[in-house]
Amino acid sequence: MKRVKQFCLEAVMLLLSLVVLFPVLYAVVSSFKTRSEIGEPLSLPHSLYLGNYENVFINLNVLGMLKNSFIVVAASMILIVLIGSLATYPLGRKSKGIYMMLYLFFLSGLMIPFSAGIVPLFQLIKGLRLMNSLGALILVSTGSLMPITIMVFSAYVKSIPRELEEAAIMDGCGRISVFMRIILPLLKPAVITIVIINTLPVWNDFFNPLLFISSESKRTLPIAIYSFVKQNGAADYGSIFAVSVISIIFPILLFLCFQEQFYKGMASGAVKG
């Protein structure tokens, strides 16, 4: 009976995996098809046709869009990790009075819909003269993802023994030195978890670039895909599949490279939280 249950569970999980993976596999296969072969959705391409990718790289300036997306993601992750860890260190060590109020203030950001702050956010970015710049996307991404970052970091900070800090202070280390040499290295699993969790929404962000970026040279990849689909529509499905495949390569590679650390970080954070 136990084996039957295990078999049924594995069969259900396999079926769910196929349902999730089918759109990705379909897009990858279709990106290597010619226009005539696109009309045969369940067939494999007769040959490895690279014309769709060539068309995308020539007409869409994918490399420039990828560069902009990488800049926004990298800068946002650096700021999120640095600011989030620095903010969480005192909040995780002291849980009374003003520190608890600040912690709850940050967490309240998880309950406020992003759409509620669009108008003041637009006015803020305009007042800072960051319109039509990647700095606007970096600033907004960093601020909007700070609540979840502080929540994850706090579980790890609270689990670090205070004796480690006290020993370092007795050896002559200051608070900043203690944080950089003791706390931050111990937060490595949390850092990897935070980076993987937050990379995807920043990489796929569509609304903020649409709102703050007007120059074509500063567009990120989601806006480029939107513009390409809008211009070509049903005329060139092969190229649309090609640019879609290009857009998912980075998140997949990031997860595959750090999946072990990600799982450990999530499991450890769940236990510590």
Phi, psi of 206 (to 5 degrees): -110, -40
The boundaries of the domain holding residue 99 are 47-272
Phi, psi of 10 (to 5 degrees): -65, -35
pLDDT by residue for the chain (273 residues), tens digit each?
678 888 888 888 989 988 888 888 888 898 898 888 887 877 888 888 888 888 888 888 888 889 999 999 999 999 999 999 888 888 877 777 787 888 888 888 778 888 788 888 999 999 999 999 999 999 999 999 999 898 888 888 888 888 887 788 887 777 788 888 888 888 888 888 899 889 999 999 999 999 999 888 888 999 888 888 887 766 678 888 888 899 998 888 888 887 776 666 666 554 455
Q: Residue 202 domain-assigned?
A: yes
Q: Residue 199 domain-assigned?
A: yes
Q: Residue 179 domain-assigned?
A: yes
> Both tokens of residue 235?
């005329």
Please check whether residue 236 is in contact with residue 55, taking contact to mean a CB–CB distance below 8 angstroms: yes
**Predicted local confidence at residue 269, as pLDDT:** 53
Angle among Cα 63, 228, 210 to the nearest 5 degrees reads 85
Number of domains, the chain: 1
Task: Label residue 157 exposed, middle or buried (CB < 10 Å: 0-12, 13-18, 19+).
Answer: buried
Q: What is the pTM of this model?
A: 0.84
- What's the CATH number where 193 sits? 1.10.3720.10
- How far, in Å, CA of 257 to CA of 259, rounded? 6
Q: Residue 38 domain-assigned?
A: no
